[in-house]
C-alpha cells in the first residue's frame, strides 16, 4: 500500500533526532486518495536523509512494515499536473458536450424541417398520382372512344362496301333499264307487266341505299366525347404551363442565391486569410514573449543562485556560531567520536541524495532543452501540445530546484557542523589540525559584490518583467480580437453552410418541379397526339359521310326521275296533260 507521509524528527542535544513517518493519505486507486484518520506514526528502519517536514511516498506491507520510500516532491507535481489535466480535459469535454447538444438541437430542427418537407412532397406526390390516375382514366376513355371510332369506321367501310354493291347493282339495273328503254324507244308505251317490272327494279334500288342517320348520330357523339376530353386536357395543359412558369421563377431565384453565396464565400476566404496573418503575427509576439520569459526565468534562477551563494558564504562566515564548541570540549572523547561518526554517516546519505537530485535536475533541464528544440521545428498543432508539455516540465524543474535549494543548504550546514566536530576531535586526540580550513576568512567584500550584482540583476529583471507584462497585455488584447474574429468567422461559416444546405434543398425542389413538368409533358403529349389522331379520323369519316350522303341524294333523285319516266311511258297522255 502506498501512503503519503511527512518526515518528523524528535529533537536532541546534538544533531537531528531519529526520523519517523507520519501517515497523511492512502492511495485507493491511480487517481484516488483518502486521508488517514487520526495520527499514525511509523518509525523508520534506518535514518533517512530528509529533514523534518519533508513529504515522502511510503510503501508499506499489510503489517505496516516499510518496503521503500522516496521523496514525494516530483510525484506530487505529477499528481497535481494530472489533476490539472483532468480538470482541463473535463472542461474540454463539457464544451464538447455543449457543442454536441447544440449540434443535436440543430439536427433535430433540421430533421423536423426535413420531415415537414417530406410530408409536403408526399402530399404533392399523392396529388400527382391522383392527377396521373385521372389522366390514365382519360386515356382509357380515349382508348374506348378510339375503339368506338374504329368500330364506326369498320361499320362505315362495311356500309360503303354495301353501298358499292348497291351502286354496282344500280348500275346493272340502270344498264338493264337503259336496254329496256332502248327497246321501248321503238314503242311509245309500256304494258302493265313491263311497268311493274321496272317499278320493282326501282324499289329494289331504293331499298339498296344504306341508311346514314345512325352512323352520323354515333359520329356526333364521338365528336362530343372528343371535345370533352380536349377540355380536360386543356385544363392539364394550363396546369403544366403554371408549373413550368413556377419552375422558371424558382430556378432564377436559386441561381441568384447561388451567386450571392459564392460572393459571400469569396469574402469569407479573404477575411480568413487576414485572420491567419493576424494569428501569425500573434505567434511571433508569443515567441518573443517566451524568449523574454525564459530570459527572465534565467535571471530569476541566477538571482536565486546568488541568494544561495550569499547565504552559503554568510553561513561559512558565521558557521562557528552554530556549534557549541565548549560543549564539545567537555563531551567525553568516546561520545564525541560516536557523534562525529553519526554526523559523517548522515552527511554521506544526504550527499548521495543531493547528488541524485542534482542528476535528476540535470535530466529535467535536458528534457526542457529538447522540448524547446522540438517547438522550433514543430507545426502549429504540435506546438500547442509541446508548449503545454514544456510548461509542465518547467514547473517540475522549478519545484525540484526549490526543493534542492533547501537540501543544498542543509548539506552545507551539516558539512560545516561536521567540520567543527572533526576539528575539535582531532585537537583532543592530539592530531594536527589544518588551520587553512578554519572559517575565519573575511568574506565581507565578496558578500558586498554579490549584493551589488544581485541589485543590478534585480533591476534588470524588474525592467524585463515590465516589458513582459506590457507584451502580455498586447498579446491578450490581440488574442481577444482574434478570438472574436474567429468566432465571427465560425458563425459566418455556419451561416453560409446553412444557406448552402437551404440552397441544396431548393435545388432539389426545383429538380422535383422540373421532374413534375417533364412528367406532365411526357404524359399529356401522347394523349394529345392520340386525341388529335381520333379527331382527324372522325373528321375524315364525317367528310366521307358527306360524300356518301350526296351520292345517296343523287341516287334518290335519279330513282325519282326514272319513276317519272316510267309513268310517262305507261301513260303517254300525261306528257301533254295540263297541270
* pLDDT 10s digits, 260-279: 888 888 888 898 888 888 88
Q: What is the DSSP letter of 259?
A: H
The answer to whether 277 and 505 are in contact (CB under 8 A) is: no
C-alpha cell at 517: 413538368
Reported as a pLDDT band with limits 50, 70 and 90, residue 319 is: very low
For 63-126, the DSSP string reads T--EEEEEESHHHHHHHHHHHHHHHHHHHHHHHHHHHHHHHHHHHHHHHHHHHHHHHHHHHHHH
Reported as a pLDDT band with limits 50, 70 and 90, residue 433 is: low
**Mean pLDDT along residues 100-116:** 76
Average pLDDT score, the chain:
76
Task: Name the least confident of 135-144, 257-266, 501-510.
Answer: 135-144
CA 243 to CA 249: how far, in whole Å? 10
What lies within 8 Å, CB to CB, of 429 at 6+ separation is: 333
Reported as a pLDDT band with limits 50, 70 and 90, residue 436 is: very low
For 126-165, the DSSP string reads HHHHHHHHHHHHHHHHHHHHHHHHHHHHHHHHHHHHHHHH
* pLDDT 10s digits, 158-209: 766 766 666 666 567 667 766 665 665 555 555 667 667 767 776 766 665 5
CA 115 to CA 140: how far, in whole Å? 36
3-class DSSP state of 19:
strand
CA 147 to CA 151: how far, in whole Å? 6
C-alpha cell at 450: 554579490
* pLDDT 10s digits, 343-354: 888 888 888 888
* Nearest Cα residue to 215 out of 157, 145, 147: 157
Domain ranges of the chain: 2-71, 319-438
* Nearest Cα residue to 431 out of 443, 420, 423: 423
Reported as a pLDDT band with limits 50, 70 and 90, residue 578 is: very low
Q: How many residues does the chain have?
A: 579
Reported as a pLDDT band with limits 50, 70 and 90, residue 518 is: confident
CA 107 to CA 247: how far, in whole Å? 29
pTM, rounded to two decimals: 0.35
The answer to whether 203 and 144 are in contact (CB under 8 A) is: no
* pLDDT 10s digits, 440-478: 445 566 667 777 777 887 888 888 888 888 988 998 898
CA 397 to CA 301: how far, in whole Å? 11
The reported pLDDT for the residue numbered 191 is: 64
Decide the pairing of beta strands 2-9 and 55-60.
antiparallel
Task: Name the least confident of 6-20, 49-63, 453-467, 470-484.
Answer: 6-20
Amino acid at each position: 500500500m502506498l501512503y503519503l507521509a511527512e518526515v518528523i524528527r524528535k529533537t536532541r542535544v546534538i544533531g537531528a533526532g531519529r526520523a519517523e513517518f507520519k501517515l497523511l493519505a492512502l492511495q485507493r486507486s491511480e487517481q484516488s486518495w483518502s486521508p488517514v484518520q487520526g495520527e499514525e506514526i511509523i518509525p523508520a528502519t534506518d535514518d533517512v536523509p530528509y529533514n523534518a517536514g519533508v513529504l515522502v511516498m511510503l510503501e508499506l506491507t499489510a503489517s505496516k512494515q516499510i518496503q521503500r520510500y522516496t521523496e514525494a516532491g516530483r510525484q506530487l507535481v505529477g499528481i497535481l499536473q494530472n489533476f490539472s489535466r483532468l480538470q482541463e480535459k473535463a472542461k474540454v469535454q463539457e464544451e464538447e458536450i455543449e457543442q454536441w447538444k447544440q449540434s443535436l438541437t440543430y439536427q433535430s430542427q433540421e430533421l423536423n424541417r426535413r420531415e415537414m418537407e417530406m410530408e409536403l412532397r408526399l402530399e404533392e406526390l399523392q396529388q400527382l398520382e391522383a392527377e396521373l390516375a385521372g389522366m390514365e382514366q382519360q386515356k382509357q376513355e380515349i382508348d374506348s372512344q378510339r375503339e368506338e371510332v374504329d368500330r364506326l369506321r369498320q361499320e362505315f367501310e362495311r356500309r360503303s362496301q354495301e353501298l358499292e354493291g348497291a351502286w354496282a347493282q344500280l348500275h346493272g339495273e340502270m344498264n338493264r333499264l337503259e336496254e329496256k328503254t332502248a327497246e321501248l324507244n321503238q314503242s311509245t308505251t309500256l304494258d302493265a307487266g313491263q311497268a311493274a317490272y321496272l317499278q320493282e327494279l326501282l324499289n329494289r334500288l331504293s331499298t339498296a341505299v344504306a341508311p346514314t342517320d345512325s352512323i352520323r348520330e354515333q359520329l356526333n357523339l364521338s365528336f362530343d366525347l372528343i371535345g370533352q376530353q380536349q377540355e380536360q386536357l386543356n385544363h392539364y395543359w394550363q396546369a403544366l404551363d403554371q408549373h413550368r412558369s413556377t419552375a422558371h421563377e424558382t430556378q432564377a431565384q436559386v441561381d441568384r442565391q447561388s451567386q450571392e453565396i459564392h460572393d459571400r464565400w469569396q469574402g469569407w476566404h479573404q477575411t480568413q486569410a487576414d485572420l491567419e496573418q493576424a494569428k501569425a503575427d500573434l505567434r511571433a509576439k508569443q515567441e518573443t514573449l517566451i524568449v523574454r520569459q525564459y530570459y527572465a526565468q534565467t535571471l530569476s534562477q541566477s538571482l536565486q543562485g546568488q541568494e544561495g551563494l550569499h547565504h552559503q558564504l554568510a553561513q561559512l562566515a558565521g558557521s562557528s556560531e552554530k556549534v557549541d564548541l565548549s560543549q564539545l570540549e567537555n563531551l567525553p572523547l568516546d561520545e564525541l567520536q560516536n557523534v562525529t561518526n553519526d554526523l559523517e554517516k548522515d552527511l554521506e546519505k544526504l550527499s548521495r541524495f543531493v547528488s541524485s537530485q542534482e542528476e535528476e535536475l540535470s535530466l529535467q533541464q535536458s528534457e526542457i532543452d529538447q522540448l524547446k528544440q522540438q517547438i522550433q521545428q514543430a507545426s502549429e498543432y504540435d506546438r500547442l501540445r509541446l508548449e503545454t508539455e514544456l510548461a509542465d516540465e518547467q514547473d517540475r524543474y522549478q519545484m525540484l530546484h526549490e526543493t534542492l535549494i533547501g537540501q543544498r543548504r542543509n548539506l552545507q550546514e551539516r558539512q560545516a557542523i561536521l567540520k567543527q566536530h572533526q576539528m575539535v576531535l582531532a585537537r583532543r586526540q592530539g592530531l594536527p589540525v589544518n588551520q587553512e580550513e578554519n572559517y575565519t576568512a573575511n568574506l565581507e567584500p565578496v558578500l558586498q559584490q554579490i549584493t551589488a550584482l544581485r541589485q543590478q540583476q534585480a533591476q534588470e529583471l524588474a525592467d524585463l518583467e515590465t516589458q513582459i507584462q506590457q507584451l502580455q497585455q498586447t498579446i491578450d488584447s490581440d488574442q481577444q480580437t482574434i478570438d472574436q474574429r474567429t468566432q465571427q468567422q465560425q458563425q459566418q461559416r455556419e451561416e453560409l453552410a446553412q444557406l448552402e444546405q437551404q440552397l441544396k434543398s431548393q435545388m432539389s425542389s426545383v429538380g422535383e418541379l422540373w421532374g413534375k413538368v417533364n412528367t406532365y409533358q411526357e404524359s399529356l403529349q401522347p394523349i394529345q397526339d392520340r386525341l388529335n389522331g381520333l379527331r382527324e379520323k372522325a373528321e375524315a369519316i364525317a367528310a366521307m359521310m358527306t360524300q356518301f350522303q350526296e351520292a345517296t341524294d343523287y341516287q334518290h333523285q335519279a330513282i325519282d326521275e326514272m319513276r317519272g319516266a316510267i309513268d310517262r311511258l305507261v301513260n303517254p297522255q300525261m306528257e301533254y296533260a295540263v297541270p
